[in-house]
Amino acid sequence: MKKRLMLIMLMISIILNVVLVYKFFYQGEKVTVKKDSRSEIKMTKENREFVMAEMRGFLESVQKINEGIIKNDPNIIVNVSQQSGTCKVNAVPQGLVRSLPYEFKQMGFQTHELFDVMSKMAKEKYDRQQIQVKMNELLNNCVACHKTYKITAEP
Ligand code: HEC
C-alpha cells in the first residue's frame, strides 16, 4: 500500500516537472518590439558598414578616455583624435554624405570635433574634471543621435 502511494507521488512529481519545464522553455511571453519613433536613414550596405565601423571606433575612443580618467593619465586620451577626430570626416564616401540628413551631419561633425577638443585638452591643459565634463557633453551627443535615427541598408 505504501509502495503504491509512493509511486503515485512520483508520477505526480514527474508530471508537474514536465509541465514546469515546458512552461519555462516553450511558453515565454511573446516579445513585441515597441514601435520606435526614430527616423530611418536608408543607404547602401557598404555605406552602412562604413558608418558602423566608425561607431565602433567612437565606442573604443570613449573607452580610452574613460581609462585615461580612471588612471589619471592624459597620454591615453591624446590619441583619440586620430581614431575619431575631424580628420576622419574627409574619408567619408561622397555618396554617403549625400544620403545623410543635415542634422545627422551636424551632430556627427560635432562629435568628431569633441574628440579633437578632448585630445587637445589632454595634450595641453589636462584637467581631470574638465575632461569628465566634456565626456558628458560627448555622450549626450551619442545619446541624442541614437534616439533620433536608425540606419537601414537598401536591399
Ligand atoms: C550623428 C548621429 C550619431 C552619433 C553622434 C553617434 N551615433 Fe552611434 N549610431 C548612430 C546610428 C544611426 C546607429 C545605428 C542604429 C540603428 O540602425 O539601429 C549607430 C550605431 C552605433 C553602434 C553600433 C555599431 C554596430 O556595429 O552595430 C555603436 C557601438 C555606436 N553607435 C556608438 C556610438 C558612440 C559611442 C557615440 C558617441 C561617441 C555615437 N555612437 C555617436 C548614430 C550616431
Q: Taking residues 109-116, what's their average pLDDT?
A: 97
Q: Taking residues 141-152, what's their average pLDDT?
A: 97
> Looking at the domain that runs over 39-153, which CATH code has it been given?
1.20.120
Q: Taking residues 118-141, what's their average pLDDT?
A: 97
- The answer to whether 71 and 148 are in contact (CB under 8 A) is no
Ligand 1 center to 26 CA (angstroms): 34
The pLDDT mean for the chain works out to: 92
C-alpha cell at 73: 593619465
Q: Taking residues 90-108, what's their average pLDDT?
A: 92
Q: Count the Cβ atoms, other than its own, within 10 Å of residue 68.
A: 23
Structure confidence at residue 25 (pLDDT): 78
Ligand 1 center to 15 CA (angstroms): 49
Pocket of ligand 1 (CB under 6 A): 52, 55-56, 58-59, 62, 104, 107-108, 111, 138, 141-142, 145-146, 149-151
Q: pLDDT band at 142, cuts 50/70/90?
A: very high
Q: What is the pLDDT of residues 41-95, one digit of tens each?
A: 999 999 999 999 999 999 999 999 999 999 999 999 999 999 999 998 888 988 8
Q: How far apart are CA 91 and CA 112, in angstroms?
A: 13
C-alpha cell at 126: 589636462
Q: Which of 146, 147, 149 to mutate to test the pocket of ligand 1 (most atoms within 8 A of CB)?
A: 146
Q: Output the CA–CA distances (angstroms, integers) from residue 9 to 1, 4, 124, 140, in the order listed.
A: 13, 9, 77, 60
Q: How far apart are CA 44 and CA 50, in angstroms?
A: 10
Q: Taking residues 89-103, what's their average pLDDT?
A: 90
Q: How far apart are CA 139 and CA 31, in angstroms?
A: 29
Q: How far apart are CA 117 and CA 112, in angstroms?
A: 9
Q: Count the Cβ atoms, other than its own, within 10 Å of residue 78.
A: 19
Structure confidence at residue 29 (pLDDT): 66
Domain limits, the chain: 39-153
Ligand 1 center to 55 CA (angstroms): 5
pTM of the model: 0.83
Q: What is the pLDDT of residues 75-88, one digit of tens each?
A: 999 999 999 999 98
* Protein residue with least CA distance to atom 8, ligand 1: 55
Q: Which of 88, 104, 109, 142 to mutate to test the pocket of ligand 1 (most atoms within 8 A of CB)?
A: 142
Q: pLDDT band at 137, cuts 50/70/90?
A: very high
* Protein residue with least CA distance to atom 39, ligand 1: 142
- The answer to whether 37 and 63 are in contact (CB under 8 A) is no
The sign of the dihedral angle between the CA atoms of 140, 85, 131, 75 is positive
Report which of 91, 88, 64 is spatially closest to residue 78, judged by C-alpha positions: 64
Q: How far apart are CA 76 and CA 56, in angstroms?
A: 18
* Protein residue with least CA distance to atom 28, ligand 1: 55
